[in-house]
């Protein structure tokens, strides 16, 4: 049974399953939209335009196309930072209902059948509150990219921030709330917010801009420390269980190679925020397995980044985050392909590119 569970959780299985779930969800959403009970985000708010390139070196992930870089997408029509909505009912799964209609632009993920069918009869009432429209509520990466960075656009967070129950229960959510002085409240029953401020996603998913990274640093009260010249830090996922899909990397081999070069290894499965802050001076060259822990680079000033990726599960989120943070020396190494150790050695021995 454990073997079967591990197999089903692996990215080789989860990636096609995610595609199937997306297709099935589209059918349900279409059916509810036809009845008038579901309002998707209008096409005019979803249309995108292609912008400048975020370059990288090394291997081209299978989902990245044929160029050594990715073009930043932005919304063709700018979205408002927030919308003020009266008498909004939000549910534990993240649904945002108004006058009997589920609005995608007021919901904390793209609605599925369970969200559409769940009870929306309010069990609580709040006079005011903030709610974040998003697409994902699964990982630390979602928390950083779709929640904290969105809230960072406000000059002041002056009301309770209500979150889907599963997200509010995450340890890093409560940790960050205490750290920045924000009241994050989980929704355990449908909640009527009399005066809601719904934060909108103004960035197209993973395509970070420099001003968004800067605003997030301000919200998190980051004091960046310059790294020691020649320092090397590897964020290893060895022993970590993903919140979405498990990936396989040759972690032990990579750890040994980094230590042999005098570098530091930090295993993210056991790492606390204090651990990340403590290794800030070791991160001139930052290596990491593709995953949410990479967002902790916000506390550091890396000059070079090497990302270990799998062709089964790769997105450009961290490439654009690093690019928006000012890092231009970015290499991707596919651990699915032979010779990863040799390619890593070559990348480490190359001279650092200018910021």
Q: What is the pLDDT of residues 51-60, one digit of tens each?
A: 999 999 999 9
The whole-number pLDDT of residue 1 equals 54
4 CB contacts (<8 Å, ≥6 apart)?
none
The whole-number pLDDT of residue 117 equals 85
Res. 16 pLDDT band, cuts 50 70 90: low
Q: What is the pLDDT of residues 203-218, one digit of tens each?
A: 998 999 999 999 999 9
Other CB atoms within 10 Å distance of the CB of residue 204: 15
| DSSP H or E stretch at residue 214 | helix 210-219
Nearest to 227 by CA among 323, 344, 305: 305
Average pLDDT over residues 251-275: 95
Q: What is the pLDDT of residues 117-170, one digit of tens each?
A: 888 999 999 999 999 999 998 899 999 999 999 999 999 999 999 999 999 999
Q: Do 241 and 14 contact (CB within 8 A), yes or no? A: no
Other CB atoms within 10 Å distance of the CB of residue 186: 16
DSSP codes joined into one string, 262-318: T-EEEETTS--HHHHHHTGGG-SEEEEESSGGGGGGGGS--SEEEEEEBTTB--SHH
Task: Tell me how many degrees the CA angle 21-145-33 measures, rounded to the nearest 5.
Answer: 40
1 or 272, greater pLDDT: 272
Q: Do 85 and 69 contact (CB within 8 A), yes or no? A: no
Nearest to 276 by CA among 178, 347, 172, 346: 172
Q: Do 153 and 199 contact (CB within 8 A), yes or no? A: yes
Residue 244: burial class (beta carbons within 10 Å; 0-12, 13-18, 19+): middle
What pTM, to 2 d.p., does this model score?
A: 0.89
Q: How far is CA 178 from its chain centroid?
A: 20
15 or 88, greater pLDDT: 88
Q: What is the pLDDT of residues 76-130, one digit of tens each?
A: 999 999 999 999 999 999 999 999 999 999 999 888 888 888 889 999 999 999 9
Sorted by where each starts, the structural domains of the chain and their CATH numbers stand as 50-71+205-355 (3.40.50), 80-201 (no CATH)
For residue 293, give both structure tokens.
Answer: 């822990």
The whole-number pLDDT of residue 241 equals 67
Q: How far is CA 324 from its chain centroid?
A: 15
CA torsion, points 138, 157, 128, 97, in degrees to nearest 10? -30
The whole-number pLDDT of residue 23 equals 52
Q: What is the pLDDT of residues 311-326, one digit of tens each?
A: 887 999 999 999 999 9
Largest Cα separation within the chain, whole Å, is: 63
The whole-number pLDDT of residue 9 equals 44
Q: Tell me the range of 11-25, 62-76, 231-245 where mean pLDDT is highest.
A: 62-76
Nearest to 307 by CA among 52, 18, 54: 54
What is the rounded average pLDDT for all residues in the chain?
Answer: 90
The whole-number pLDDT of residue 2 equals 45
The whole-number pLDDT of residue 256 equals 96
């Amino acid at each position: 049974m454990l073997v079967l569970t591990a197999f089903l959780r692996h990215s080789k299985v989860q990636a096609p399953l995610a595609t199937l779930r997306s297709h099935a969800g589209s059918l349900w959403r279409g059916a509810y939209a036809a009845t008038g009970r579901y309002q998707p985000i209008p096409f005019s708010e979803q249309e995108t335009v292609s912008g400048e390139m975020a370059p990288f070196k090394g291997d081209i992930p299978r989902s990245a196309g044929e160029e050594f870089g990715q073009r930043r997408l932005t919304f063709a029509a700018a979205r408002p930072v927030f919308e003020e909505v009266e008498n909004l009912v939000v549910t534990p799964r993240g649904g945002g209902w108004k006058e009997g209609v589920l609005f995608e632009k007021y919901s904390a993920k793209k609605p599925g059948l369970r969200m559409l069918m769940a009870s929306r009869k309010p069990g609580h009432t709040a006079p005011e509150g903030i709610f974040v429209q998003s697409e994902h509520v699964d990982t630390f990466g979602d928390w950083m990219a779709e929640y904290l960075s969105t809230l960072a656009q406000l000059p002041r967070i002056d009301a309770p921030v209500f979150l889907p129950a599963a997200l509010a229960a995450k340890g890093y959510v409560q940790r960050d709330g205490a750290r920045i002085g924000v009241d994050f409240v989980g929704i355990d029953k449908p909640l009527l917010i009399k005066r809601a401020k719904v934060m909108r996603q103004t960035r197209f998913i993973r395509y970070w801009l420099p001003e968004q990274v800067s605003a997030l640093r301000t919200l998190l009260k980051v004091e960046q420390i310059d790294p020691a010249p020649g320092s090397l830090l590897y964020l290893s996922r060895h022993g970590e269980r993903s919140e979405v899909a498990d990936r396989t990397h040759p972690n032990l081999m990579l750890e040994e190679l980094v230590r042999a070069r005098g570098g530091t290894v930090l295993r993210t499965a056991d790492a606390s925020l204090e651990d990340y802050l403590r290794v800030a001076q070791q991160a001139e060259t930052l290596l990491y397995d593709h995953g949410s822990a990479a967002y902790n680079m916000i506390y550091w000033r890396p000059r070079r980044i090497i990302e270990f990726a799998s062709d089964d599960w790769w997105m450009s989120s961290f490439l654009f985050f690093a690019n928006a943070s000012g890092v231009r020396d970015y290499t991707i190494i596919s651990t699915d392909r032979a010779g990863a150790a040799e390619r890593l050695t070559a990348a480490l021995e190359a001279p650092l590119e200018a910021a």
